[in-house]
Amino acid sequence: MAIQVGISACVLGERVRFDGGHKQNRFVVDELSNYVTFKPVCPEVGIGMTVPRPVIRLLQLPSGEERLVETKRQDIDHTDKMNAFTDKIVGQFDELCGYVVCAKSPTCGMERVKLHIANNNTVPGGTVGVYTKRLMAKMPWLPVEEDGRLNDPVLRENFVFRIFTLNDFYKSVRDNLSAKAFVEFHSRYKLVLMAHSPSAYKSLGQMVANIKDWDLDDFYYEYRQLFMDAVKERASRKNKTNVLMHLQGYFKRSLTKEQKAELAELIDSYRSGNQPILAPMALIKHYLREYPDPYLQIQTFIDPYPEELKLRYGL
Ligand code: SF4
């Protein structure tokens, strides 16, 4: 089955905004859509609001509670309807491997959404849109990202990587629940974990080593959350350099002195920021074809997503 990703309908190009417009995102439509099936949702239309419709905003009550109200008629409050809609639709999201939400929206925004208080003031730092806040609380393992943030190469790569990873997890483990499936999945992600979170690399490794002591369902939920938290951490250049050096170690007997020096130079060039990771990875993949190694060949770090997405160009 194709990878399924939820999306704010306006980001996909549907004219569902309050003013009848959309917020289509080119990367989503032109590139990501070649690899995933989008499930568009406009929560405001979902609760019966019209297009066009009155502008709404988030209002913080003196009690601290956040309410979704109409800007010109703050006595018209859509919060309860929106929460009920969210609870119902999240029940249909079992297959989702990610979610792209629309920035700044009081319904869909993921961060720094304006939160109004009395006298036309706003709360510093803002808040999360009422729909997205509930979605993330109910599915804390799900990769969620805003349309605008996808223009940042580092955030884009991490988000897309997590989508492919969660899909891989579901195919490998959920649809085939067994200790063996977990061990195999975890083995393929060792280098990924080393790059994203050396501490999770250790703790998840210990968890998998002790899997026989767990109830398999409990293990599934715990591992999914901890694993998805770990890969959400940014893979630093330092950590990725360590992984490249680790990979380099596997070729120490096969390569000539000159080949080793060339690879070491490329890794160092990546470490100092003069080359993208693509450069040493291309050479490593070349050597891997020439000198196959069963452990390295299964490592997701080598080919985490389709090359055509060009996600490693800016890293
Ligand atoms: S931001 Fe969300 S609620 Fe607003 S138009 Fe887009 S999908 Fe609908």
> Tens digits of per-residue pLDDT, 264-278?
999 999 999 999 999
- Computed over every residue of the chain, the mean pLDDT equals 97
Q: What pLDDT shows up at residue 176?
A: 87
> Tens digits of per-residue pLDDT, 228-242?
999 999 999 999 999
Measure 206 CA to ligand 1 centroid, in angstroms: 43
Compute the residue count for the chain.
315
Angle between the 216-232 and 198-209 helix axes, to the nearest 10 degrees? 170
Give 153's contacts (C-beta < 8 A, 6+ positions apart): 311, 313, 314, 315
> Per-residue pLDDT for 285 more than 80?
yes
Q: What pLDDT shows up at residue 125?
A: 97
Percent over 70 (pLDDT), the chain: 100
Residue 135, ligand 1, Cβ within 6 A = no
Type of residue at 304: P
Q: Which atom belonging to ligand 1 lies closest to the Cα atom of 108?
A: 2
> Per-residue pLDDT for 134 more than 90?
yes
Q: Which atom belonging to ligand 1 lies closest to the Cα atom of 18?
A: 5
DSSP state of 161: H
> Per-residue pLDDT for 141 more than 90?
yes
Question: Which residue has its alpha carbon closest to ligand 1 atom 5?
Answer: 17
Average pLDDT over residues 1-28: 97
> Tens digits of per-residue pLDDT, 97-123?
999 999 999 999 999 999 999 788 999
> Per-residue pLDDT for 314 more than 80?
no
Question: Which residue has its alpha carbon closest to ligand 1 atom 4?
Answer: 17
Q: What pLDDT shows up at residue 1?
A: 75
Measure 47 CA to ligand 1 centroid, in angstroms: 11
Q: What pLDDT shows up at residue 179?
A: 98
Type of residue at 128: V
66, β-bridge pairs: 60
Q: What pLDDT shows up at residue 118?
A: 79
DSSP state of 115: E
pLDDT band (50, 70, 90) for residue 246: very high
pLDDT band (50, 70, 90) for residue 161: very high
| C-alpha–C-alpha distance, residues 149 and 22, integer Å | 17
Residue 16, ligand 1, Cβ within 6 A = yes
| Separation in Å, CA 310 to CA 27, 125, 160 | 11, 33, 11
Q: Strand order of the sheet with strand 144-146? A: 36-41, 3-8, 96-101, 144-146
H helices of the chain, where?
A: 9-12, 26, 43-46, 79-90, 130-138, 153-172, 179-188, 190-196, 198-209, 216-232, 237-249, 257-271, 278-290, 294-297
Q: Which residue's entry shows tokens 């019966």? A: 48
Residue 17, ligand 1, Cβ within 6 A = yes
Residue 8, ligand 1, Cβ within 6 A = yes
- Judge whether 123 and 147 are in contact, CB under 8 Å: no
Average pLDDT over residues 172-192: 96
Average pLDDT over residues 173-196: 96
Average pLDDT over residues 146-155: 96
Type of residue at 105: S
Measure 83 CA to ligand 1 centroid, in angstroms: 15
Q: What pLDDT shows up at residue 39?
A: 98
Please tell me whether residue 266 adopts helix, strand or coil conformation. Answer: helix
Q: Within a 10 A sphere around the Cβ of 286, how many other Cβ atoms?
A: 12
pLDDT band (50, 70, 90) for residue 313: confident
> Tens digits of per-residue pLDDT, 37-87?
999 999 999 999 999 999 999 999 999 999 999 999 999 999 999 999 999
Type of residue at 236: S
